[in-house]
Structure 1
Amino acid sequence: MVIKQTEMKITHLVYAGLGGHTNVFFTLLGADKGSHFEYSTIFYGVEDPSLDVTDKLIAKNIPFNYVKKKPGMDWLFWPKVFKALKREKPNVVFLHSSYNIIPALFYGLFYKAKIVVRETQANHLKTKLEKYLLGISLMFADKVVFLTDLYQSQIKDKYKWLFDDTKVAVIPNGLDLGFFKPTKKNDSQTFSIGMLSRIVPIKDHETLIRALGQLDCKNLVLKIAGEGESMVKLQALAKELGVENKVMFLGRLSEDRIPAFLNELDLYVHATLGETMSTAIMQAQACGLPIIASDVMGVNNLITSGKNGILVECRNVEQMAQSIILLREDSKLRKSLGYESEQYAKELLSCDIMFESYHKLFVE
Structure 2
Amino acid sequence: MPKKGGHIEVDELVSDSYDEECGEYIFVYTKSVEKMLYYIVFRTPAYPEYIYHDMQLRAACIALAAVLFLILVLIFSKSRISYIRYLSGVVDEISKGNLHTQIDKKGYDELTTIAESIDDMQHNLDKMMKEERENERKNRELITNLSHDIKTPMTIITGYLDVVISGKYEDESERDLYIKKAFAQVEKINGMIQKIFLLAKNEIKVEQDNTVRCNFSMMVSQDVAEFEGIAQKQNRNFVTDIPEKPLYANIVIEDMREVLDNILMNAIKYSKPETDILVSMEEEESTIHIIVSNVSEEVKEADCTRIFDKFYRADHARGSDIAGNGLGLSIVRETVERSKGKVWAEYVQGYFSLHIRLPKA
TM-score between both structures, scaled by the size of structure 2:
0.22
TM-score between both structures, scaled by the size of structure 1:
0.22
More RCO (CA 8 Å, sep 6+):
1
Higher helix proportion (structure 1 or 2): 2
Who wins on radius of gyration, i.e. which is larger?
A: 2
